[in-house]
């Protein structure tokens, strides 16, 4: 049943996420195909840069809108009757949203990387030079200390979990019997208060987090302030906190849910 | 006949306002029950509690001897008073969802009902009229071989011809050993199919009786009794 729930969440969010990514990529590829080989002038580069910037912005807006729809609207404003009358526990309903949101977040990253690669190919003199620039971009990332790369990945997962759990908790509170009016506005206010309070406290306690970025002249150095172990422990704390918020959200739904 | 739904000392307050105040009911299978009362009587709140859409209440609800839970919700086929469908939903997209989520969903019944009610299963909800959406929701509800059917105002807001069609569909399609609860204030349109009637007002059950017994005892129709009881029409 859980897998079926995930399947339907993916199908329902496909139009929000997938179609816009495909359209964006299609546009970028079309530009690439229409480019005259060897001819890269300033106006064309500027045009492409603006277009790519627009696409990047559009993707960000679409992703935020789609995540709100996935984590909030589908639960409380658009499909609440279907969601909360189906024979599935609230844990599975919420977990399915978290997993599907994570899948789409990964797709967003792949899309942005693909967009950057196409951009480099477009503004370069020829394809070989473009490919070299893409290689340089990736090798710069690969050359970073592997432990930092691990921490980057874990931090991405941990930050995602905290955001998702916070949205689910505030959605549950705003749609509980405690609140009967202005639920959507209050959900946004609760999210801003809870999320920024938590992240600011964490930032203060950890003095900026375990990843240190410093510059030496023109080069950038990325490292870990207290080693891999403590960095992983730090983000494990993030995930534990997310789990607590998730369970609180589930508790509120199980005992206080009130769909108008 | 076994008890399908047992409600004991049910209380639900919206702030200080009592939407349900000490409701006790025992509902058995193989019956069509009318849940009647004026607007604001507590009908929708009661149905929403049974379906799990409202979970903050006092009292006890047993569905086939189990406390209300995700498992007990599998027994209920529910038609809300407002549309539960997104604008993009079509008959086929909803059929895919129902097939996966409800083991008692029957695709053949759904197709038969789409044909009978003259609706196109490929048409999205966004392009349907209000009456068509009501019919679409009815098809989804009746395509399940559920043990409990809960209808919240299924005929409010549709024309008299559509009302007849909706009532006829409910009557011909429901599982005969199932419990059917129809919440309405349009008693005249449903009276002929009811086995029992519950009158509710101000969150309290005023009466829960067999319809035939009530008619012969009071020597009037349920609709007349309702009007006399509430004097609101």
- Domain segments of chain A as ranges: 1-138, 144-260
* Interchain CB distance below 8 Å, A88 and B101: yes
Question: pTM for the whole thing?
Answer: 0.88
CA of A111 to nearest chain B CA: how many angstroms apart?
26
A188's tokens? 């946004």
CB pairs under 8 A between A and B: 68
**How much is the pLDDT for A88?**
92
Q: Taking residues A187-209, what's their average pLDDT?
A: 87
**How much is the pLDDT for B59?**
95
Residue in chain B nearest A82 by alpha carbon = B84
Distance CA A125, CA A123 (A): 7
**How much is the pLDDT for A120?**
78
Which pLDDT band holds residue A218 (cuts at 50, 70, 90)?
low
Q: Is A260 on the interface with B (CB under 8 A)?
A: no
**How much is the pLDDT for B158?**
75
Q: Is A19 on the interface with B (CB under 8 A)?
A: no
Q: Is B14 on the interface with A (CB under 8 A)?
A: yes
Closest CA to A173 of A154, A161, A186, A157: A186
pLDDT in tens, A223-241: 777 778 888 888 898 899 9
Q: Is A140 on the interface with B (CB under 8 A)?
A: no
Q: Taking residues B112-134, what's their average pLDDT?
A: 89
CB atoms within 10 A of CB B145: 16
Closest CA to A92 of A253, A244, A207: A253
Distance CA A121, CA A87 (A): 50
Q: Is B2 on the interface with A (CB under 8 A)?
A: no
B129's tokens? 């009229």
pLDDT in tens, A113-155: 887 888 777 777 677 777 787 787 777 777 777 888 888 889 8
Which chain B positions have a beta carbon within 8 Å of A89's beta carbon?
Answer: 69-70
pLDDT in tens, B50-96: 999 999 999 999 999 888 888 888 999 999 987 778 888 899 999 99
Give the one of B76, B84, B96 whose C-beta lies nearest to A82's C-beta.
B84
Q: Is A177 on the interface with B (CB under 8 A)?
A: yes
Q: Is A14 on the interface with B (CB under 8 A)?
A: no
Which chain A positions have a beta carbon within 8 Å of B79's beta carbon?
Answer: none
Which chain A positions have a beta carbon within 8 Å of B14's beta carbon?
Answer: 180
Which chain A positions have a beta carbon within 8 Å of B96's beta carbon?
Answer: 8, 11
Residue B8: give its domain's CATH number. 3.40.50.300
- Provide long-range contacts, Cβ within 8 A and 24+ apart, for A222-227: A222/A144, A222/A145, A222/A148, A223/A145, A223/A148, A224/A145, A224/A147, A224/A148, A224/A151, A227/A147
A61-120 residues touching B, CB cutoff 8 A: 78-82, 84-90
Domain that holds residue B117: 3-230
CB atoms within 10 A of CB A148: 18
Q: Is B78 on the interface with A (CB under 8 A)?
A: yes
Residue A186, pLDDT > 90, answer yes
**How much is the pLDDT for B233?**
42
Domain total in chain B:
1
Q: Is A179 on the interface with B (CB under 8 A)?
A: no
């Amino acid at each position: 049943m859980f897998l079926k729930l995930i399947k339907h969440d993916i199908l329902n969010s496909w139009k929000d996420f997938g179609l816009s990514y495909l359209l964006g990529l299609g546009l970028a590829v079309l530009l690439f195909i229409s480019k005259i080989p060897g001819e890269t002038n300033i106006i064309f580069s500027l045009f492409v840069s603006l277009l790519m910037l627009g696409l990047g912005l559009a993707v960000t807006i679409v992703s935020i809108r789609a995540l709100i729809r996935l984590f909030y609207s589908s639960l409380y404003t658009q499909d609440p009757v279907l969601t909360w009358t189906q024979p599935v526990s609230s844990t599975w309903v919420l977990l399915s949203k978290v997993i599907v949101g994570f899948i789409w977040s990964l797709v967003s990253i792949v899309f942005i990387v693909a967009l950057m690669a196409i951009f480099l190919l477009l503004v370069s003199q020829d394809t070989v030079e473009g490919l070299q620039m893409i290689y340089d971009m990736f090798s710069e990332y690969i050359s970073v200390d592997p432990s930092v790369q691990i921490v980057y990945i874990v931090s991405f997962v941990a930050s995602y979990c905290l955001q998702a759990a916070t949205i689910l908790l505030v959605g549950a509170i705003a749609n509980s019997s405690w609140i009967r009016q202005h639920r959507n506005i209050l959900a946004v206010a609760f999210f801003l208060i809870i999320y920024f309070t938590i992240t600011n406290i964490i930032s203060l306690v950890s003095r900026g987090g375990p990843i240190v970025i410093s510059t030496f002249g023109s080069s950038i150095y990325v490292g870990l302030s207290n080693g891999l172990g403590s960095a992983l422990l730090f983000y494990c704390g993030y995930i534990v906190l997310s789990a607590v918020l998730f369970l609180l959200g589930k508790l509120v739904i199980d005992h206080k849910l009130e769909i108008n | 006949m076994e008890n399908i739904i047992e409600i004991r000392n049910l209380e639900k307050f919206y702030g200080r306002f009592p939407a349900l105040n000490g409701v006790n009911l025992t509902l058995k299978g193989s019956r069509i029950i009318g849940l009647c009362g004026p607007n604001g009587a507590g009908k929708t709140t009661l149905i929403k509690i049974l379906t799990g859409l409202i979970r903050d209440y006092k009292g006890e609800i047993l569905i086939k001897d189990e406390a209300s839970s995700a498992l007990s919700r599998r027994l209920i086929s529910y038609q809300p008073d407002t549309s539960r469908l997104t604008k993009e939903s079509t008959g086929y997209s909803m059929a895919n969802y129902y097939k996966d989520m409800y083991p008692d969903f029957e695709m053949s019944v759904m197709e038969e009902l789409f044909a009978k009610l003259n609706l196109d299963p490929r048409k999205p909800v966004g392009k349907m009229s209000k009456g068509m959406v009501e019919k679409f929701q009815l098809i989804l509800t009746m395509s399940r071989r559920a043990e409990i059917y809960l209808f919240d105002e299924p005929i409010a807001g549709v024309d008299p011809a559509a009302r007849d069609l909706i009532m006829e569909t409910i009557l011909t399609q429901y599982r005969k050993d199932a419990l059917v609860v129809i919440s309405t204030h349009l008693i005249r349109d449903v009276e002929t199919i009811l086995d029992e009637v519950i009158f509710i007002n101000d969150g309290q059950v005023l009466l829960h009786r067999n319809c035939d017994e009530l008619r012969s005892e009071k020597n009037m129709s349920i609709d007349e009794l309702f009007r006399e009881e509430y004097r609101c029409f």
